[in-house]
Amino acid sequence: MKIIKSIIKTEVTYDDEMKNKYVVRKEWDKNKRKALVLMKNAGQADDIVLDQTTMYVVNNLAKLDYGSAIIMNLFPSIEEQDTNESATENLKCVQEEVTKVDDVIIAVGTGDEVVSILFIQL
């Protein structure tokens, strides 16, 4: 019998009011490649809960031999309309995170109906 243990380290970055989610970082192997996945809208995932999109991202990146996923969205609001301030802060976060990864993946669509994926190798 074999027992396999693993840990997925999760870090989520919000604004002070918890109205905008900027970064969801999941790491399961720090020695493997890192991917930044840019999507459209912030989902329901947090430091514990996985939404369907986050689950798809993690599962597929693991199959592609990545060790971590940095998930970001073009529109970070989780409660209200996006503001200029949230858009500016989000862009700063994207610019910072893109320097920390091996590849950038732009995903458009929802669930099983992903319209297109643009893969950018840095």
What would the pLDDT profile of 3-21 be if each residue is shown by its tens digit?
A: 999 999 999 999 999 999 9
Query: Measured between alpha carbons, how far is 45 from 65 in angstroms, rounded to an integer?
Result: 22
Whether the predicted pLDDT of 23 surpasses 80: yes
Name the more confident of 108 and 46.
Answer: 46
pTM, entire model: 0.85
Q: Average pLDDT of 85-109?
A: 90
Res 45: pLDDT: 87
The more confident residue out of 111 and 28 is 28
Residue 84's SS3 state is: helix
| H and E: helices and strands count for the chain | 2, 6
Indicate the SS3 state at residue 37: strand
Q: Do 20 and 91 meet the contact criterion of CB atoms below 8 Å apart?
A: no
pLDDT value for 37: 94
Per residue in 53-96, pLDDT (tens digit) is 889 899 999 999 999 999 999 889 887 777 888 889 999 999 99
